[in-house]
A and B are shown apart, each in its own frame.
Chain A
Amino acid sequence: MDLGAYLSRFSQAVRDKPNNLRKASECGERIIGYFCTYTPVEIIHACGFLPIRIWGGQVEVDRAYSLVPNFICPYMRFSMERALKGEFDFLTGIIQGYTCDVACGLMNIWKGHIGMQMYHSIALPYNDSAESREFFASALKETVIRLRDIGGTFSEQALHESLALYEQIRCRVLNLYEMRYAGALPFSAADLLTIVHAGFVMRPEEYSALLEGMENHLDTDTPPEPRGIPILISGSLLEDPALIEIIEGYGHRVVADDLCTGLRHFSPPSGSGTIPLDRLVDRYMNRFPCPSRVRAAQRVPLLMELIGRSGARGVVFAFQKFCTPHLADYPIVSQALRSRGIPSIVIEMEETGIMEGQLRTRLETFFSMLEA
């Protein structure tokens, strides 16, 4: 297979995810869904389940409106609508790390309408101390008990292996990020987003193998000449590559991201500790943070570091409409960036998707300002 064929495989995995997962379920695979990447997938995998990230995607919202208000983010509304239509009937359960009021509430609404064997929310600590680590370890052990209750099996060795597998995946994707910082990635940022999304819905073993196979084709292809303005995208969940494609369509480059469908999901690849559970706790304590977990001021130096490494000259904030953590951080973060000479623009993703005409006008103005 050449590089193009690998990229097609990732696209195909994203496109065919409902059928693939339904078939897997029919063949005996037991699948657990999650909304937020703070959900410790390693525990789910170690217990013998396949963790997949629940998707939203553009869909006409009809039935969900009888259950949820219209002032929650499109992602949660879309996923609810799909669930009510039976699109997630292959799921055995949902496990959710508490990072978002809406995701917490939606999980409980799903519980009342979508029959599954388990719904479990994990309270995640905000501080990093010996006590908070002990608490988090206890919460993870409780999760194991819940998974055992529905037929899961767990061993320390299995967790060790799951941690190694996910570390391998994260290292491989982060290598792609390093190539992108160096201007040596032989495909677009939109393709990279697709690769990330494929990882949410594929078996990790297959995903890792596909990434490994693709690695052999990365050095041989000639990377495109860097052109246009380098941009960093920061925000919550970006499901549709359309925004990136529009930016790239103008001849500019997305060179870095601070997305939960991006860097935040992969960094760091692993944690340290003598036993597997400690390593898992350590990784989640040291994650590249989401605004739901930390203060805006803590994110600024991290964003500046990303900007420094990637050479980004402007930031596009891409928010799901009504996303409180991001909206609440925005004034402080954008002001801090502006004071350091980095301009930014906000794009809100609404239920109708990207308003392309309006978006193009705003982006053109933003790029003209950056070019001036």
Chain B
Amino acid sequence: MDKTGKSTKRLTTARELNTVVLDYYLECARARHEGRPVGWMPPMNGAIEVFYAMDLQPVFPENWSPVCAAFGLAPDNFERSEKMGYSPDLCGYLRNIVGYVHGDMNGEGVPLGGLPEPDLLISFGGGCIPAMKIFQILEQRFPGAKVFSADLPQVAVEDIREHHVKYAVSEMERLIEFLTETTGHTMDYDRLKEVVEVSDRACELWDEIMSYRRYLPVPFSAAEIGIMFVMVTRQGTRTAVDFLTRMRDEVRERAEAGRGVIEDEKIRLFWDNIPLWYNMGLFNYFEKMGGVFVAETYSAAWSLRLDTRNPIEALARKSLMSYSLVSCLSIDRRREMVLKACRDYAIDGAVFHRNKSCVPITLGQADIQQALLSELGVPSVTIDACHMDARNFSLAQFQTRADAFMEMLLEKKRLKTDRTS
């Protein structure tokens, strides 16, 4: 195993994802050539459905960072941003995208043609501080782009009150006004309703796909979690629904036929925090000892169902909830989610990625680990790394911890089997 590497994928549809990814970035480039306004925005909010409904092109710089990591571009980007004075202690997404936009964005060797420059920046107050700062830096880099300064209350899901929703709705309405004024594209509210319905259908399919992970053996693992790409970039499009439908069919078929990820699934694992984008092969590492990653925290953020009767409010609520679900805004809520996932998916052990690049997800992990052990008897191990920067990942340390953890889980399982037989 190398320090960086790709995962092994078993699903045919997961392999089809490459085409979906390529088509998306080609569409972004085409938008620029065709004069369709390109807007850069943070993920996990309702602006994406608004963009697709208004025939505007959404681009997600945060999502571009995993692409850079997977294609080995991130080290050069880090070097460039660090030379500009950005501290290596800052989030890897921030350092990567800052380095990328200050280099040759569409030069030779840049995968998928790179990103088109933005006509619009949906810069926001809200979410995590690094995500917010990324857009403020982008404003400096692209002074010609029209900037929408969005405002999204940072509130725990369980603390959302009427005034939060009212304010988020007013921000959605202000966004539509801004886009109309700056691009000349107007909102067709019937079209928005359709887009929200399609987006909700994608969430429904996502939930259905995840539900098949309850099967023993599990039909697909976290090694295929790149499928999340359609939930990040294609929410509200038929592309997402069609892809997820094919995926659901394949997953269902595998689940019902009892076809697992590996021949002999012995240990069912849970992953907490963002994956190591430069080493997705790490998910496969446990397979040699019979361990499969059955579920992960991150996938929960993409299954927010939308009330299609009231599209604007549905998107406002989605915007309020998405960040909260995967951050330290509510550790209680996250703990409940992880415990529920570990019960639902019959998890034997959990791997917690202590992620130097993501403090909001890392904070609270110790409490969740403790709850897993005391309430469910599920042990866990901590892996120190960073989702973007391989310099913060020690392969030897990972292997030592992973091997010892798997040995312990196998022994625990053996003892349990002995007792019951």
Contacts and interface: CB of A to CB of B under 8 A. Distances in A.
B225 interface: no
B228 interface: no
B211 interface: no
Given A126-B149, A327-B86, A138 B359 contact: no
Interface string B94-127: 1000000000000000000000000000001110
A158 B164 CA distance: 26
Contact of A328 (B125, B137, B354): B137
B156 A297 contact: no
A67 interface: yes
B331 interface: yes
Nearest to A325: B129
Nearest to B90: A327
A242 interface: no
B153 interface: yes
A36 B364 CA distance: 20
A335 B126 CA distance: 26
B125 A104 contact: no
A194 to B, nearest CB: 29
B340 interface: no
Given A135-B153, A321-B89, A324-B91, A106 B363 contact: yes
Interface in A145-163: none
A108 B170 contact: no
Given A108-B330, A328-B137, A72 B359 contact: yes
Interface string A55-67: 0000000000011
Which of the listed residues A66, A71, A330 has the most CB atoms from chain B within 10 Å of its own CB? Answer: A71
A297 B84 CA distance: 16
A332 B137 contact: yes
A101 B327 contact: yes
Interface residues of A, number: 46
Interface in B111-153: 124-126, 128-130, 133, 136-137, 139-140, 149, 151, 153
B79 to A, nearest CB: 14
Nearest to A292: B129
B154 A109 contact: no
B90 A324 contact: yes
A98 interface: yes
B155 A121 contact: yes
B129 A324 contact: yes
B87 interface: yes
A331 B89 contact: no
A308 interface: no
Contacts of B171: 131
A326 to B, nearest CB: 10
Contacts, number: 140
B356 interface: yes
Interface string A311-346: 000000000011011011111101100000000000
A100 interface: yes
Contact of B153 (A109, A125, A295, A331): A125
A279 B360 CA distance: 33
A68 B159 CA distance: 24
A296 B139 CA distance: 11
Contacts of A292: 129
B23 interface: no
Interface string A107-139: 011011000000001010111000110110011
Contact of B364 (A109, A293, A328, A334): A109
Contacts of A213: none
B129 A101 contact: yes
B401 to A, nearest CB: 16
B86 A328 contact: yes
Contact of B130 (A112, A135, A295, A324): A324
A297 B149 CA distance: 14
A104 B154 CA distance: 10
Contacts of A142: 161, 163
A249 interface: no
A109 B371 CA distance: 13
A69 interface: yes
Nearest to B163: A138
B328 interface: yes
B272 to A, nearest CB: 13
B154 to A, nearest CB: 5
Interface in B326-369: 327-332, 354, 356, 359-360, 362-364, 366-367
Given A101-B327, A102-B363, A105-B359, A121 B133 contact: no
B134 to A, nearest CB: 8
B85 interface: yes
A218 to B, nearest CB: 39
B166 interface: yes
Which of the listed residues B91, B153, B330, B332 has the most CB atoms from chain A within 10 Å of its own CB? Answer: B153
Contacts of A334: 85
A160 to B, nearest CB: 23
Contacts of B178: none
B103 to A, nearest CB: 15
A100 B129 contact: yes
Given A105-B328, A125-B167, A72 B363 contact: yes
B105 to A, nearest CB: 19
A331 B154 contact: no
Contacts of B140: 296-297, 332
A109 B87 CA distance: 27
Given A66-B366, A98-B154, A142-B161, A330 B125 contact: no
Contact of A330 (B87, B139, B363): B87
17 contacts: A66-B366, A102-B359, A104-B154, A105-B327, A108-B331, A108-B363, A108-B364, A121-B155, A125-B167, A126-B125, A131-B167, A132-B167, A135-B166, A296-B136, A296-B137, A321-B89, A327-B89
Interface of B: 84-87, 89-91, 94, 124-126, 128-130, 133, 136-137, 139-140, 149, 151, 153-156, 159, 161, 163-164, 166-167, 170-171, 174, 327-332, 354, 356, 359-360, 362-364, 366-367
Which 8 A-B pairs give the minimum distances between C-beta atoms?
Answer: A126-B125, A105-B363, A105-B328, A331-B85, A138-B163, A123-B153, A328-B133, A135-B167
Given A67-B366, A125-B125, 5 more contacts: A98-B155, A104-B329, A111-B331, A324-B91, A328-B86
Interface of A: 66-69, 71-72, 98, 100-102, 104-106, 108-109, 111-112, 121, 123, 125-127, 131-132, 134-135, 138-139, 142, 292-293, 295-297, 321-322, 324-325, 327-332, 334-335
